[in-house]
Chain A
Amino acid sequence: MMDKRSLLKHEAVKFIPFALLILALPMAFREGYLLNVFVFVGIHTLLAVALNLLLGYAGQISLGQAAFFGLGAYGSGILTATHGLNPWLAMVLVAAAVGVLAFLIGFPILKLKGHYLAMATLGFGIIVYIVFNEAVDVTGGPSGLSGIPNLAVGGITFDSDFKNYYLIWGITLLTILLSLNLVNSRIGRGLRAIHDSEVAARVMGVNVRLLKVQIFALSAVISSVAGSLYAYTMTFVSPTSFGFNFSVELVTMVIIGGLGSIYGSFLGAALLTLLPEFLRAFQDYDIVVYGFLLIFMTMYMPGGLVRGIPALVGRIAERIGIRKKVDA
Chain B
Amino acid sequence: MHIADQISQYLLSGLSTGAIYALIGVGFAIIHNSTGIINFAQGEFVMLGGMLTLFFLTALKLPLLVSIILAIAVATLVGIAFERLAIRPMKNASPISLVIITIGGSILIRGIAMLIWGKDTHALPTFSGNDPIQLGEATILPQHLWIFAVTVIVIICSKLYFNYTISGKAMRACAYNSRAAGLVGIDVRRMVLFSFAISAAMGSMAGIIIAPLTMTSYDVGIMLGLKGFCAAIIGGMSSGLGTVFGGIILGVLESLGAGLLSSGYKDAIAFIILLIILLVRPQGLFKKGDTERV
Contact = CB atoms under 8 A, between A and B. Distances in A.
The 9 closest A-B pairs by CB, nearest first: A291-B108, A294-B104, A291-B107, A287-B111, A288-B111, A295-B104, A123-B271, A134-B264, A115-B38
Interface stretch (A86-94, A106-114, A170-178): A106-114
B103 interface: yes
B145 interface: no
B273 to A, nearest CB: 9
Contacts of A111: 279
B96 interface: yes
Interface of A: 55, 61, 63, 108-109, 111-112, 114-116, 118-120, 122-124, 126-127, 130-131, 133-134, 197, 199, 248, 251-252, 255, 259, 284-285, 287-288, 290-295, 298-299, 302
B278 A294 contact: no
Contacts of A131: 268
A123 B277 CA distance: 12
A240 to B, nearest CB: 14
Contacts of B100: 251-252, 255, 294, 298
B115 interface: yes
Contacts of B93: 298, 302
B282 interface: yes
Contacts of B161: none
Contacts of A133: 264
A108 B277 CA distance: 12
A123 B279 CA distance: 12
B127 interface: no
Contacts, number: 120
7 contacts: A61-B95, A116-B278, A119-B38, A127-B271, A252-B100, A255-B97, A259-B96
A127 B268 CA distance: 5
B294 A109 contact: no
A288 B95 contact: no
B114 interface: yes
Contact of B105 (A61, A290, A295): A295
A196 to B, nearest CB: 12
Interface in B269-294: 271-272, 274-275, 278-279, 282, 294
B96 A134 contact: no
A118 B101 contact: no
Given A130-B265, A134-B264, A291 B105 contact: yes
Contact of B90 (A108, A284, A285, A299): A299
A123 B275 CA distance: 7
Nearest to B271: A123
Given A108-B279, A199-B294, A299-B101, A134 B108 contact: no
Interface string B241-279: 000000000000000000000001101100110110011
B229 interface: yes
Interface of B: 32, 36-38, 86, 89-90, 93, 95-97, 99-101, 103-112, 114-115, 226, 229-230, 233, 264-265, 267-268, 271-272, 274-275, 278-279, 282, 294
A63 B275 CA distance: 14
Nearest to B292: A113
Per DSSP, chain B at the interface is helix
Given A124-B275, A291-B107, A294-B107, A61 B282 contact: no
Contacts of A130: 264-265, 267-268, 271
A51 to B, nearest CB: 11
B231 to A, nearest CB: 12
A117 to B, nearest CB: 9
A126 B86 contact: no
A292 B111 CA distance: 10
A294 B103 contact: yes
A126 B230 CA distance: 13
Given A131-B268, A255-B100, A295-B86, A109 B108 contact: no
Nearest to A285: B115
B38 A287 contact: no
A119 B294 contact: no
B274 A134 contact: no
A266 B90 CA distance: 26
Contacts of A122: 226
A116 B103 CA distance: 16
Nearest to A259: B96
A288 B96 contact: no
A61 B272 contact: no
A119 B89 CA distance: 24
Nearest to B283: A116
A112 B89 contact: no
Nearest to B86: A295
Given A61-B96, A294-B108, 10 more contacts: A123-B230, A126-B271, A130-B268, A130-B271, A133-B264, A134-B264, A134-B268, A287-B107, A293-B104, A299-B90
Contacts of B107: 287, 290-291, 294
B114 A284 contact: yes
Contacts of A299: 86, 89-90, 101
A91 B236 CA distance: 41
Contact of A290 (B111, B230, B278): B111
A264 B114 CA distance: 32
Nearest to A108: B279
Contacts of A291: 104-111
B170 to A, nearest CB: 23
A165 to B, nearest CB: 30
